[in-house]
């Protein structure tokens, strides 16, 4: 049975399935008279605001002040204890943008983000597909795979630093007795540090991605799967036409949130390398921390922060429009 036929069938079935309309509005039939419909709509709106505004207001108040504060700080010069602020105009911004180090940090941040996203999303998806099967141990892994993600970052960083230590670390020891290397492998050298931190970060987040996608996978309607099987679809075809559209919303949310988190991520890299060696892993958040909390240059640090914020906002905006355009959402609603 050809792919086009399978696609057609599943599309028909999906269309037959009641999906949420753009507004989730309950049909008038439920209410009867038009006036009652209007009243119901007003009640809905009121309730909608009442339920969603607390979260929004709390989050906005707590984030608006820092934005304003950092904007203010970025155009001032202060002492190490934030005392004696003097207006500095856009001096910090121009100094930063002229510095080669800044552009290198930005480049590293992009490499880090893209690298981390690929190293996390793709294997995470694969792991979810794997765990969706039935095989000995599947249930056990399904339940406990989140365990590594639950460890405090400090501990994760310490364990990995120790495992990868060139002289007394287990990784090197294992490589040596397996006969694969004779020289100690320095995982955190200037050339390899970025790769190592990307992989360590992926180690932490792959289970999280996998579990989220798995939850969505298990929600895939059985009869769609069965219909596709009847049509003669193989595993990958079933995945493409049945499962994938169902899990795209979950993947969409995950990738959006991870994009923002990774771009802004600070603790893991800081704990493993402090941005080193030789600034090989100094991404923008690390630079912001160093400038503020180690050099006590609060104005420039805030300016870097504003620049980073604008960058992330822009990228997120672009990403959102891409997602929205492809209507990744149950029935087109997002």
- Is 23 an interacting residue with respect to other proteins (CB under 8 A)? yes
Q: Give me the phi and psi of 146, to 5 degrees please.
A: -75, -10
- Is 167 an interacting residue with respect to other proteins (CB under 8 A)? yes
- Binding test (CB under 8 A) with other proteins, winner from 285, 303, 307, 323: 285
Nearest to other proteins of 4, 177 (CB atom): 177
CA atoms in the 13 A half-sphere facing the CB of 39:
7
- Binding test (CB under 8 A) with other proteins, winner from 215, 230, 318, 322: 215
Binding mask 185-214 for other proteins (x = CB under 8 A): -x-xxx--x---------x---x---xx-x
- Binding test (CB under 8 A) with other proteins, winner from 15, 170, 230, 322: 170
Q: By the 8 A CB rule, do 249 and 332 touch?
A: no
Q: How far is the CB of 88 from other proteins (least distance, A)?
A: 11
DSSP string for 270-305:
HHHHTT-STTTT--HHHHHHIIIIIS--HHHHHHHH
Measured between alpha carbons, how far is 71 from 117 in angstroms, rounded to an integer? 29
Measured between alpha carbons, how far is 101 from 244 in angstroms, rounded to an integer? 42
Cis peptide before 202 (omega within 30 of 0): no
- Is 78 an interacting residue with respect to other proteins (CB under 8 A)? no
- Binding test (CB under 8 A) with other proteins, winner from 11, 104, 139, 327: 139
Structure-block tokens of residue 164: 């990868």
Nearest to other proteins of 176, 240 (CB atom): 176
Nearest to other proteins of 103, 162 (CB atom): 162
- Is 20 an interacting residue with respect to other proteins (CB under 8 A)? yes
């Amino acid at each position: 049975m050809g792919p086009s036929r399978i696609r057609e069938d599943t599309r028909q079935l999906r269309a037959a399935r009641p999906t949420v309309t753009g507004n989730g509005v309950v049909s008038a039939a439920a209410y009867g008279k038009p006036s009652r419909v209007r009243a119901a709509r007003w009640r809905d709106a009121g309730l909608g605001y009442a339920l969603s505004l607390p979260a929004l207001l709390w989050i906005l108040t707590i984030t608006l002040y820092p934005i304003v504060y950092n904007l203010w700080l970025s155009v001032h010069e202060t002492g190490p204890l934030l005392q004696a602020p003097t207006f500095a105009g856009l001096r910090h911004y121009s100094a930063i943008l002229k510095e080669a180090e800044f552009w290198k940090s930005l480049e590293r941040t992009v490499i880090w983000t893209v690298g981390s996203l690929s190293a996390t999303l793709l294997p995470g998806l694969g792991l979810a597909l794997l765990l969706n099967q039935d095989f000995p141990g599947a249930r056990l892994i399904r339940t406990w795979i989140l365990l590594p993600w639950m460890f405090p970052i400090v501990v994760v960083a310490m364990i990995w630093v120790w495992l990868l230590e060139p002289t007394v670390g287990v990784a090197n020891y294992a490589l040596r007795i397996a006969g694969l290397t004779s020289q100690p492998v320095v995982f955190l050298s200037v050339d390899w540090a970025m790769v190592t931190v990307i992989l360590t970060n992926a180690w932490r987040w792959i289970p999280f991605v996998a579990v989220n996608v798995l939850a969505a996978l298990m929600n895939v309607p059985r009869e769609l799967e069965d219909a596709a099987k009847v049509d003669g679809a193989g595993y990958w075809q079933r995945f493409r036409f049945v499962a994938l559209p169902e899990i795209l919303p979950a993947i969409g949310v995950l990738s959006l949130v991870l994009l923002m988190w990774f771009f802004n991520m600070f603790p893991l890299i800081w704990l493993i390398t402090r941005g080193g060696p030789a600034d090989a892993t100094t991404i923008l958040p690390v630079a912001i921390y160093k400038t503020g909390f180690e050099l006590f240059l609060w104005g420039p640090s805030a300016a870097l922060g504003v620049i980073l914020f604008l960058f992330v906002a822009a990228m997120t905006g672009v990403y959102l429009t891409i997602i929205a355009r492809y209507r990744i959402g149950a029935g087109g609603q997002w």
